[in-house]
Chain A
Amino acid sequence: MKKLVLQVTLLSLVLLMVGSLVFAQGQKAAADDEITIVVMPKLVGIPYFNASETGALQAGKDLGVNVIYTGPSTADAAQQVRMIEDLIAKGVDAIAVAPNDPAALTPVLRKAKQAGILVLDWDTPADQSVVDLSVHQIDDQEYGQHIWDLLVEEMGDTGDYAIVTGGLSAANLNGWIDAGLSYAKTKYPKLNLVTDRVPTDEKQQIAYQKTLDLLKAYPTLKGIVGVSTPAPLGAAQAVQEKGVADKVAVVGTALPTDSKPYLEDGSLRVATLWDPAKLGYLTVVLAKEMLEGKAPVDGQDVPNVGKITVWEDGKTVIMGPPTDFTKENAGQFNF
């Protein structure tokens, strides 16, 4: 009887492994002479990073390199560190990572470098002293200014407006808002910010409630800027419910598929964001070029991505201007 149990155990294990082998066929390990580039998102399984996966894999196909797109299933820095350690053991050529926490990854990225692996960051900067190349989606300064330009386009350059943001401690969101505010001070002096930026915990529901409060407290409001992807949606929802969509212009940073219904009923005038698929594509292209000894050049025209900007330090790359999503074009995107 004991033996039977053991046999059953081992048999099921073998079946399990065979199953996983079949699953893995699609991502079979490459031949040793082929270039292998790892692109690691903060986590897998959310629309934003699914879109960048398509881009990264497409680039792998186009360039004939083996791309592994893998990351933890939760946004835990500890899991990311473990996965990178495994990938170093696997022996890859380049690792591009979007760190959940920059500080936590510094030791393991240094280990990767010692093992002769090219280290890049994408989407979110890692410790700049350990990366060979840093791929940014956007220039924070320009992006902030662009959001305020859109606001003025929709509400005019005079009047009251408010800012609804994801969280007060998010460095990237604050960077965009600060850039936009200082830009508005000189360029659009007649704009009047009615209150401090309103935090919404990265949740649409809270953005919706806070916007209802704003509309009640400031009836003269003509515009709302939503920063962080759920914020403009919540604001649009509130504006639509109160029936003031033609009086209050909502603009902000949102994904096109999410914002499509609001764009269509006019409660959200325009959304702006970069294309995560392009970002994944660009990351792979640049990693491959670096492996071949070619550093990126300012103004270089990357096929399927466009002209990129390279900063003076030679390792910070900006993908380019954001894409605006309106009623007309929101249906064309898949992220």
Chain B
Amino acid sequence: MDKNTQQTVQNEKKGLRRLVDKLHLEKKELVLLWIFLGIFLLMSIISPGRFLSIYNLQSMAYQFPEFGILALAMMVIIVTGGINLSITYSATLSSIIGAVVLVAMNSAGVPELITVIVGVVVIVVTSIIAGAVNGLIVAHIGIVPMLATLGTMTLFEGISLNITKGGAISGFPTMFQWFGNSSILGIPVPLFIFVLVIIATYFILQRSSFGAKVYMIGCNPTATRFSGVNVKRTLFILYIYSGILTGLAGLIMASRYNSAKESYGYTYLLQSVSAAVLGGTDISGGFGKVFGTVVSVLILQVISSGLNIFGVNRFITDVIMGMILILVLTINFINNRMEEKALVTKKVVTA
């Protein structure tokens, strides 16, 4: 190898490293990305022409945004060392209250566009209130997040059931279906909403001083408080943000299913914890990246759709998802251990 080629190889390596650095990717996320690409390839090979068809790619792009947004709503809270068990019922409560308004205005003959705008505003406002209730209980009253959100989960479910009496509310204006069932230039509207949410969450969490405070709280709330950060205010705002995300997920679900019911998507609750943890979020707080969570949402979607198209029994799909979760957690654990060891040896040498 002459000097020149060596130089270019090194440059290329540097370029790649720079790209990785720019995206703030860590080893955990790179492993995830590899897994995603591997699974995607495998699925394309085992059911050619079906998995890798424009129709299926589009159909998947309609499916994962609602779940992805909920996973991010969960992730931002797990980063603080908490958990938000009320996300799915906060989403459905918002959509139900929005649905009541939509149906009432629609049957009163208000123009569709106004009805839809008012309906969306109501959904978002309700989700802000739901988030604020969580924030109030967790940040200001100081109840442990798991218990607080367990309480609000039951509360939201109860309110929803009182409104719907156990049934589904339907009869929206046709225009409302746009949010969940239409596409712009072949790209589904829910995907656009999801991308906006990803960008917003990335900047709030990873690029702002507010985000830095959030990670600090996750590492050590007491130390954070003594370093002059208003922990209560930060947590309160973060729970409201989590609430807004559930509202957006509720909006997409109500539109996709053209109705609102309290139990829609209740299985997303634990799946969103899995997605966040699979994405490298530390369940005890302090670490977690938007990129990792998004990639793990994609992984779960590709496995779910791929195996479904291939005709694998649903329980076996669950088994495979569980195995992948354990596998990734194990790899991350081993990686961490090796890094620590390397660090220790380094220190010994320099000393």
Q: A residues bordering B, Cβ < 8 Å?
A: 1-2, 5-6, 8-10, 12-14, 16-17, 19-21, 23-24, 27-29, 44-45, 68, 70-74, 76-79, 81-83, 85-91, 101-107, 169
CB distance from A135 to the nearest CB of B (A): 22
Query: Which one of B107-115, B128-136, B205-213, B254-262 contacts A?
Result: B254-262
The docked-state distance in angstroms from the alpha carbon of A230 to that of B284 is 42
The listed residue with most B CB atoms (<10 A of its CB), out of A27, A28, A70, A89, is A89
Knowing A13-B38, A78-B268 are in contact, say whether A5-B335 is a contact too (CB < 8 A): yes
CB distance from A3 to the nearest CB of B (A): 11
A residues less than 8 Å from B314 (CB atoms):
44, 70-73, 83
The docked-state distance in angstroms from the alpha carbon of A87 to that of B177 is 22
From B53, B165, B257, B305, contact of A77 by CB (8 A): B257
A residues less than 8 Å from B34 (CB atoms):
6, 9-10
Complex contact B181–A107 (CB within 8 A): yes
The docked-state distance in angstroms from the alpha carbon of A76 to that of B271 is 13
Knowing A5-B331, A20-B320, A27-B311 are in contact, say whether A107-B256 is a contact too (CB < 8 A): yes
Complex contact A90–B50 (CB within 8 A): yes
The docked-state distance in angstroms from the alpha carbon of A204 to that of B46 is 46
Contacting residues of chain B (20-69) with chain A, CB-CB under 8 angstroms: 27, 31, 34-35, 38-39, 42, 46-47, 50-51, 53, 55-56, 59, 62-63, 66
A residues less than 8 Å from B42 (CB atoms):
13-14, 17
B residues less than 8 Å from A68 (CB atoms):
311
Residue on A nearest B37 in the bound complex, by CB: A10
The docked-state distance in angstroms from the alpha carbon of A24 to that of B42 is 15
Closest A-B pairs by Cβ, 5 of them: A103-B259, A89-B56, A104-B257, A86-B308, A78-B265
Q: B316 at the A/B interface (Cβ < 8 Å)? A: yes
CB distance from A144 to the nearest CB of B (A): 22
Q: B310 at the A/B interface (Cβ < 8 Å)? A: yes
Complex contact B315–A103 (CB within 8 A): no
Residue on A nearest B316 in the bound complex, by CB: A23
A residues less than 8 Å from B170 (CB atoms):
103, 106
A residues less than 8 Å from B253 (CB atoms):
78
From B55, B166, B264, B310, contact of A24 by CB (8 A): B310
Residue on A nearest B45 in the bound complex, by CB: A17
B residues less than 8 Å from A27 (CB atoms):
311-313
The docked-state distance in angstroms from the alpha carbon of A81 to that of B168 is 15
Complex contact A70–B313 (CB within 8 A): yes
From A8, A83, A89, A104, contact of B259 by CB (8 A): A104
How many residue pairs bridge A and B at CB < 8 Å? 156
Knowing A10-B38, A88-B59, A90-B309 are in contact, say whether A101-B267 is a contact too (CB < 8 A): no
From B59, B66, B166, B177, contact of A89 by CB (8 A): B59
The docked-state distance in angstroms from the alpha carbon of A104 to that of B92 is 13
Contacting residues of chain B (272-315) with chain A, CB-CB under 8 angstroms: 304-305, 307-315
Complex contact A13–B35 (CB within 8 A): yes
The docked-state distance in angstroms from the alpha carbon of A27 to that of B47 is 13
The docked-state distance in angstroms from the alpha carbon of A16 to that of B316 is 11
Complex contact B257–A20 (CB within 8 A): no
CB distance from B185 to the nearest CB of A (A): 19
Q: Is the interface of B mostly helix, strand, loop or mixed?
A: helix
CB distance from A290 to the nearest CB of B (A): 22
CB distance from B223 to the nearest CB of A (A): 33
Knowing A5-B331, A76-B265 are in contact, say whether A16-B309 is a contact too (CB < 8 A): no
Complex contact A9–B327 (CB within 8 A): yes
Contacting residues of chain B (120-152) with chain A, CB-CB under 8 angstroms: none
B residues less than 8 Å from A83 (CB atoms):
308, 314
Q: B263 at the A/B interface (Cβ < 8 Å)? A: yes
The docked-state distance in angstroms from the alpha carbon of A37 to that of B311 is 12
Residue on A nearest B327 in the bound complex, by CB: A12
CB distance from A9 to the nearest CB of B (A): 6
The listed residue with most B CB atoms (<10 A of its CB), out of A8, A14, A27, A103, is A103
Residue on B nearest A169 in the bound complex, by CB: B166
Knowing A85-B62, A85-B63, A106-B258 are in contact, say whether A9-B311 is a contact too (CB < 8 A): no
Q: B229 at the A/B interface (Cβ < 8 Å)? A: no
Residue on A nearest B254 in the bound complex, by CB: A104
CB distance from B216 to the nearest CB of A (A): 30
Contact flags B164-205 to A (C-beta < 8 A → 1, else 0): 011110100000010011000000000000000000000000
CB distance from A56 to the nearest CB of B (A): 14
CB distance from A227 to the nearest CB of B (A): 17
Q: B318 at the A/B interface (Cβ < 8 Å)? A: yes
Knowing A20-B307, A78-B253, A86-B308 are in contact, say whether A103-B258 is a contact too (CB < 8 A): yes
Residue on A nearest B301 in the bound complex, by CB: A82
From B66, B261, B309, contact of A86 by CB (8 A): B309
Complex contact A82–B257 (CB within 8 A): no
Residue on B nearest A43 in the bound complex, by CB: B314
- What are 7 A-B pairs at a CB distance below 8 A? A24-B307, A71-B314, A72-B267, A83-B308, A89-B51, A102-B168, A103-B170
Residue on B nearest A170 in the bound complex, by CB: B166
Residue on A nearest B170 in the bound complex, by CB: A103
Complex contact A8–B309 (CB within 8 A): no
A residues less than 8 Å from B180 (CB atoms):
107
Complex contact B266–A76 (CB within 8 A): yes
B residues less than 8 Å from A101 (CB atoms):
168, 257, 259, 261, 263-264
The docked-state distance in angstroms from the alpha carbon of A72 to that of B267 is 10
The docked-state distance in angstroms from the alpha carbon of A19 to that of B312 is 11
Q: B338 at the A/B interface (Cβ < 8 Å)? A: yes
CB distance from B296 to the nearest CB of A (A): 14
